[in-house]
Amino acid sequence: MPRSVRRPFRVFVNGVEQHEGSDYAVEGDRLVFNRSLAQEGKLGWWRWASMLLGIAGTYRKHENVDVQYTLNRKPQVATGLPVETVSGDENALDRE
């Protein structure tokens, strides 16, 4: 998570609020989700070429993680935070 995030904060995956304990845990400066988060990854040159030519699109699942918090009494949103895979099926939200 960004270093400026302090409790209380709210976590969203694709706009759906997640709940600490049932959906994720806080471990230091990371959020660890109890399920895998789908990440599209990088597209190869063939995929880019087919999209450019209008042959195909990209319809792979990609989940966005956002954190809503307050900094200096002003609401802030850290959006599209990077996701890194840790052991097993868990995912951790890395520092920005």
Q: What's the pTM value of the predicted model, to 2 decimals?
A: 0.69
pLDDT at 84 over 80: no
Residue range 28-79, pLDDT digits in tens: 889 999 888 876 656 566 665 766 777 766 566 778 899 999 999 999 999 9
Residue range 3-13, pLDDT digits in tens: 999 999 999 99
Q: Which residue has the higher pLDDT, 51 or 24?
A: 24
Cα dist. 34→18, 49, 90 in Å?
11, 36, 6
Q: CA-CA distance, 40 to 60, in Å (whole number)?
A: 6
Q: CA-CA distance, 35 to 43, in Å (whole number)?
A: 24
Enumerate the β-bridge partners of residue 13: 16, 65
Please give the helix or strand (H or E) that residue 50 lies within, else none: helix 45-52
- Choose among 8, 3, 9: nearest CA to 28: 3
Which pair of structure tokens corresponds to residue 42? 């990088």
Q: Report the pLDDT averaged over residues 12-36.
A: 93
